[in-house]
Amino acid sequence: MPQNLEIEFKNILTKAEYETLLHAFNITEDQIFSQENHYFDTSDFALKHAGSALRIRKKHNDYEMTLKQPLKNGLLETNQKLSFQETKQAFQGRLPEGEIKSKIESMAIPFSRIEYFGSLLTNRAELEYKGGLLVLDHSLYLNKEDYELEFECQNFKEGSEVFYELLRLYRIPERKTKNKIQRFYDKKYCQSDHSY
């Protein structure tokens, strides 16, 4: 079961800042690709409350289920490849067996209570930048859209320096930014009539 430590820095952008960065890095329309994330949790948001998240990502014609769990300087991702049939069954409330199920149940969350919440579509551009991966995203979900800059790297300290230098260079204010799953959940949570 592939696992990896995800170290990334992120900042919400305005549409104008997003377009400025596309232009600055000469990103053309044909370099932007789409990926679809489908999110799952219990009706009472047990994964969210545990600081974790479960998604199935469709990228091209491949499907992968990912459980994200918090670590000190990043997130631990556990990934599980899925067939089209397994993905279809997941949307109908029958998630596949495997290590992700074991990890969720070890958090005292019954796997059978996990349900499908909805999808988030991201139009993404990626490019290598100073030893890491620079990502520009335009996301659409639950009647909302946003723009985001991400920088994925292997070293927290070096990545931090590169990322904040880039923000300064383009005069982009640092904004406290939740990850996509959290933003999706927050919107879903509000729509579900829950109160914090």
Q: Is the pLDDT of residue 6 over 80?
A: no
CA distances from 67 to 29, 86, 101, 140, 180 (A): 31, 16, 9, 21, 14
CATH number at residue 21: 2.40.320.10
The number of C-alpha atoms within 13 Å of 7 and in the hemisphere containing its C-beta is: 13
| Residue 147 covered by a domain | no
Specify the 3-state DSSP secondary structure of 192: coil
pTM, to two decimals = 0.80
- Give 141's strand partners: 144
pLDDT tens column, 59-112: 878 999 999 998 877 788 999 999 999 999 999 989 999 999 999 999 999 999
- Our count of domains for the chain comes to 1
Residue 163's domain comprises 3-130+158-191
Beta-ladder partners of 54: 40, 67
What the block records as the tokens of 96 is 């596949």
The helix or strand, by DSSP H or E, that contains position 108, with its residue range, turns out to be none
Q: Is residue 145 part of a domain?
A: no
